[in-house]
Structure 1
Amino acid sequence: MVNRLWCKIAIPILWREPWNYAIDYCNKDSLYSIITSYLSNDIKEFFTKKGIRISNQPLVFDYLSFCRSINVIIIDKIISIESSSEYNRFLLQEEIYSILLKKCSEIKCLNIRGTYELVYLPEARFRLESLCELTCDTSIDSKYCYIISRICQQIQRINIFNNNFKVNHGTAKLIEFQKNLKYFKWKDEFNYDYYTPYLERLEDPYDEIFDILKKHANTLNHFEIVLQFDYPTNCHSDYRDIYNKYDYTFLQYTLLELHNLKILKINTPIFLNNNDFNKKLEMVAYRNLEIFETDFIDIYQATCIIKNSFYLRELRIHEYYVDHDEFNDDSLDFIRTICENCFLIEYLSIPTFPLLEDYCIEFEKLLKKCQKLRSLYFKDSYHYEEGNELEFGEYLLNVLVKETSKYLREFGITCDFEFSLKALETFFEKWKGRPAVLMYLENSYIYKDDSYKRLVSKYIIEGVIKYISIY
């Protein structure tokens, strides 16, 4: 009775999105058997004569009736288990996608990267109306996007993988037609080896898409973008100017409009530090921002983005651009802005700073104010003179154990500071009674010196250190 009851509860949950698990679908014979069991007898006989194994096993549950998603990449992998023939796989795809659209009462998530023909099936019009999430790429023929745009206008999450150097007007129209778009992710996935000979005919795939996104500013709360801006190392020098012609200002000026964002993740070339953009950025307030992550940004621009973000929980900046003429004012203002506005912060990465009184006062205020802080990382921005690295390291250990909240679990330093053996031992002794700490350090001397190795091993055994990693 317990097993039967468990199955009745678990099966509908597991089969809601059966294509999203971290398993090797190419070896999942059980899924292949379940899916092909739904084929009609005459279709089963047709494929059996072609030498394709089709399951005749009766099903305990109507599995596909619980399904709310279709992922053609995964389903195609499952279909390929019993057929190496491209034509036979095509025939199986046609039958199985038709069954999926008939059996799934409503489809919430659709991934059509690779196979788009299912949108032409008669059942698509009725089953895809309820679609909430769509994943596709820019190599899709525009006509498929036009069909989806006509059927689905309540999509809330769109993931687009850009693998086409030419403009795809269909994907732009697909975005434009949505009435409640909340989540948008764009990721470049160019095949440079294939496209390099055609670079002279390169089109700009960005401007149209990102101009349309501005129209969704009132609803869009998640914006994630990965731009593949590097040219290949073997690229001919004549082509490099073509790759480098994009200045990515389209992205900056789109962000000025997206005032309702909760999550902002950007992996792009450096934000251009121009006066016009900076002045406009000063006027924008991201009041709902909770997570901000970017690879590279000017400290002043980062300050402008977070200055009104009272709900900010994660600030993940992997590298700060430093204008050395303005460094002191900008970096101090950045620390002060976090202290005054971001007291809910849990994950924080900040630039290293000089050991001057103003900086130390503001940094210690920040630690006292941000009592939910769990992770703290220092990014290499300010370069100490040789011989002074030990001074900052010892100051940092002392202030961390004195001022940080009880929730702090990890800290990291991506710069070449040093810690004396005595300072480390004092830190570990004072850390006792708190949660075990994770340390990420950019210095190998700790593992080269036997004294440091013995010290670290001792406090790992005692449960003071959970994990220590040396870059």
Structure 2
Amino acid sequence: MSKLNKDVLFLILEELQDDSKFLFSCLMVNRLWCETTIPVLWRKPWCYSINYRNKNSLYLIITSYLSDNIKEFLTKKGIKVLNKPLAFDYLSFCRSIDIKILDDIISIGSSSEYNRFIIQEEIYGFLIKKCPEIKYLNIRGTYELVYLPEAMIHLESLCELTCDTSIDSRYFYRISHICQQTQRIIIINNNFKVNDGTIKLIEYQKNLKYFEWVDDYNFDDYYDSYYVPYDMEDPYTEIFDLLEKHANTLNHFEISLHYFDKYDYTFLEYTLLELHNLKVINIYSPLLFFNDDYCNEKLEIAAYHNLEILKIESMDIYQVTCIVKNSFYLRELLINEYYVDYDIDVSLNFIRTICENCFLIEYLTIPVFPLLESHFIEFEKLLNKCQKLRSLHFRGIHYEKERELEYGEYLSNVLIREASTNLRDVGFSSDIKFSLKDLETFFEKWKGRPAISIYMNNNYFYQDDSYKKLISKYKTEGVIKYINV
């Protein structure tokens, strides 16, 4: 085997991800393919969902760059390193540094903290020199990379930064002065104290487009994770207020908050009202209600013209309608739990708004609406106009008990008659049930369309043998792709 192919085998032996099997096998064919593909693979080699602690191939490639005296020092201690030169200068293609993953890879060689420190000093030193520019940086680890002399030059063009709030504020101060054109910032919040460094980081940015915040607290020392710890400071308000200053550039807003009893979450509502250029809103928060008059007035005149994706854990149906009423590019509307005050006009207006404005919608969750002719008419219009719709899920509102089978009868007919052939995925809440006859009619008439996946929230209702035989039959015939019964 050629020396080139031996180098490539370091990557192939422990495939970085299943989807890349074919790509890696292609590398064995000839040098041209290798020269084309290796720079792509090594641009972000730390981005795969794998256990890097087991990747000996990557460890050997990285340690091959160590100086001869360090290699000799480690070899004498019984630590394996690669002494043969490589056919490719892999790290010269790299535009990404992930401190935590690199620390995991380094730990393969030795369990000694001192030995790992020696390797870290060398590897991060030549890595920051070899990379012409660092585009992606994850500083969640043990090594303070930004204090290296070359960091000022090589991190200037940073595009994406991932960090956490447990990192020393002074570390953020330095990054804030070096990296002011960062477009994507992901903050993992794991600190009960305010980190002034993260505030400065957001304040100094000039072209922020993507912001993600994830609460990831450790509650081992606390009795109840739902009550505010006695020593907790407000980690949200100041940094979220600063986001409003980036309203002209920010287009992706992704938030996952932990719920604390009696904690004030209005900062989220006020921020969202100001971010008018968003394309993506993805919020996991137990509380998102615009309860005061000021917020409601602003929400009614809000215009998210560029919005493409709206994902929120729970929200009032009227407020969802206000957000999407001018969103002509909306492709995904996924609300896990709708709240409604049982005003039938509110749910009717919601359906009408989707029908009149969201022709491009592909993924939609919709509250169960009343069994009224006005709602039937608008819902059928929606199905007829939204021809790109691929996934439709109903969320329970509990309008009318004891009429679940009527819903099933109506929907089995209307979906066949009006739904686009693009529809492949349907979910029904516990407010909707299908009789055996209606379900059979639905499957029989679905023949000739792409196979459908169905999700039943009350799947216990379909557990008797008659339903099971029916479902098995249409699975065999290729009508059903998946059903959770």
TM-score, L = length of structure 2: 0.91
1: CA distance, partners of 2:167 / 2:82? 33
The residue type paired with residue 391 of structure 2 is: S
Deviation at residue 454 of structure 1 after TM alignment: 1.2
Match of 1:363 in 2: 379
Match of 1:240 in 2: none
Moved more, 290-299 or 422-431: 422-431
Q: For residues 167-187 of structure 1, what are the alpha-carbon distances to aligned partners after superposition, in whole Å with 9 as ceiling and x for unaligned?
A: 111101111111110000000
State the identity %.
69
2: CA distance, partners of 1:414 / 1:446? 12
Residues 60-459 of structure 1 mapped to structure 2, 5 A cutoff: 60-194=87-221, 199-229=229-259, 243-272=260-289, 273-324=291-342, 327-386=343-402, 388-445=403-460, 447-459=462-474
Secondary structure in 2 aligned to 1:83?
coil
Match of 2:483 in 1: 468
5+ unaligned residues in a row in structure 2: which ranges?
1-27
2: CA distance, partners of 1:138 / 1:190? 10
2: CA distance, partners of 1:190 / 1:90? 28
Secondary structure in 2 aligned to 1:366?
helix
The residue type paired with residue 32 of structure 2 is: L
1: CA distance, partners of 2:76 / 2:156? 37
Deviation at residue 7 of structure 1 after TM alignment: 1.1
The residue type paired with residue 231 of structure 2 is: R
Return closer, same or farther for 1:184/1:68 CA change in 2, 3 Å cut-off.
same
1:339–1:370 CA contact under 8 A, matched in 2: yes
Q: For residues 150-180 of structure 1, what are the alpha-carbon distances to aligned partners after superposition, in whole Å with 9 as ceiling and x for unaligned?
A: 1111100000000011111110111111111
Moved more, 441-450 or 13-22: 441-450
1:113–1:136 CA contact under 8 A, matched in 2: yes
Deviation at residue 469 of structure 1 after TM alignment: 1.4
1:132–1:155 CA contact under 8 A, matched in 2: yes
2: CA distance, partners of 1:333 / 1:158? 37
The residue type paired with residue 219 of structure 2 is: Y
2: CA distance, partners of 1:378 / 1:25? 40
1: CA distance, partners of 2:445 / 2:145? 63
Deviation at residue 215 of structure 1 after TM alignment: 0.5
1: CA distance, partners of 2:431 / 2:77? 65
1:116–1:140 CA contact under 8 A, matched in 2: no
2: CA distance, partners of 1:95 / 1:445? 60
Deviation at residue 3 of structure 1 after TM alignment: 2.0
Q: For residues 329-364 of structure 1, what are the alpha-carbon distances to aligned partners after superposition, in whole Å with 9 as ceiling and x for unaligned?
A: 211111111111111111000100111111111111
Secondary structure in 2 aligned to 1:296?
strand
Match of 1:237 in 2: none
2: CA distance, partners of 1:115 / 1:328? 56
1: CA distance, partners of 2:40 / 2:103? 22
1:351–1:382 CA contact under 8 A, matched in 2: no
2: CA distance, partners of 1:51 / 1:195? 43
1: CA distance, partners of 2:460 / 2:97? 51
The residue type paired with residue 447 of structure 2 is: K
Deviation at residue 116 of structure 1 after TM alignment: 4.6
TM-score, L = length of structure 1: 0.94
1:446–1:453 CA contact under 8 A, matched in 2: no
2:240–2:268 CA contact under 8 A, matched in 1: yes
1:83–1:89 CA contact under 8 A, matched in 2: yes
2:328–2:357 CA contact under 8 A, matched in 1: yes
Deviation at residue 447 of structure 1 after TM alignment: 4.8
1: CA distance, partners of 2:76 / 2:153? 33
Deviation at residue 468 of structure 1 after TM alignment: 0.6
Q: For residues 229-261 of structure 1, what are the alpha-carbon distances to aligned partners after superposition, in whole Å with 9 as ceiling and x for unaligned?
A: 1xxxxxxxxxxxxx4232210010001110000
1:367–1:405 CA contact under 8 A, matched in 2: yes
2:158–2:181 CA contact under 8 A, matched in 1: yes
Q: For residues 359-379 of structure 1, what are the alpha-carbon distances to aligned partners after superposition, in whole Å with 9 as ceiling and x for unaligned?
A: 111111111111111100000
Deviation at residue 445 of structure 1 after TM alignment: 4.0
Q: For residues 206-231 of structure 1, what are the alpha-carbon distances to aligned partners after superposition, in whole Å with 9 as ceiling and x for unaligned?
A: 011001100000000000000011xx
Q: For residues 268-294 of structure 1, what are the alpha-carbon distances to aligned partners after superposition, in whole Å with 9 as ceiling and x for unaligned?
A: 122233332111111110000000000
Match of 1:238 in 2: none
Tell me the C-alpha RMSD between the 2 structures.
Answer: 1.5
1: CA distance, partners of 2:222 / 2:34? 50
Secondary structure in 2 aligned to 1:5?
helix
The residue type paired with residue 50 of structure 1 is: K
2:452–2:482 CA contact under 8 A, matched in 1: yes
1: CA distance, partners of 2:219 / 2:412? 46
Match of 1:236 in 2: none
1: CA distance, partners of 2:432 / 2:394? 11
Return closer, same or farther for 1:164/1:93 CA change in 2, 3 Å cut-off.
same
2: CA distance, partners of 1:251 / 1:284? 15
2:173–2:197 CA contact under 8 A, matched in 1: yes
1:108–1:133 CA contact under 8 A, matched in 2: yes
5+ unaligned residues in a row in structure 1: which ranges?
230-242
Return closer, same or farther for 1:139/1:296 CA change in 2, 3 Å cut-off.
same
